[in-house]
Amino acid sequence: MIAKNHILFGIQNRKKDAQFTDNGLDDLIDAVCKIMYRNAGYVGMNVMENPKGFVYYISDDASVLLKTNIFGQETLEEEEFPDFAYLLYLYDVGKHPQYLAAIEKRPDIFIKLRTE
């Protein structure tokens, strides 16, 4: 179930070719956690693996989801945004405005793609 009031951000890799690496993802997880912790009192992330083959990371309070933009071997999770290797979803933004504020302080990393 998708929560009301969520925002999708894209995160490009250095080459801007929507390809990800395990090292790049690990570095990104560290960066996101630092941004969220410093600026929003963030509570941490859990690592989960989806049975369909991609790994994603979600905050302990289920309001932040970070995952690769790959579904299977050749399909993008968010096909309308093929230039983004990583995706960050913020759910229940009204309940956690501090998370949005922390992300919006870093437009050099996070690019708002969609609000629903």
Q: Are 18 and 84 in contact (CB under 8 A)?
A: yes
Residue 32 has pLDDT above 50, yes or no: yes
pLDDT at 46: 75
Most trustworthy range by pLDDT among 20-24, 55-59, 74-78, 110-114: 110-114
CA distance 7 to 88: 8
Residue 14 has pLDDT above 50, yes or no: yes
In 3D, which of 36, 78, 73, 74 has the Cα closest to residue 53? 73
Strands 86-90 vs 7-11: parallel, antiparallel or unpaired: antiparallel
CA distance 77 to 2: 15
Q: What is the mean pLDDT of the chain?
A: 78
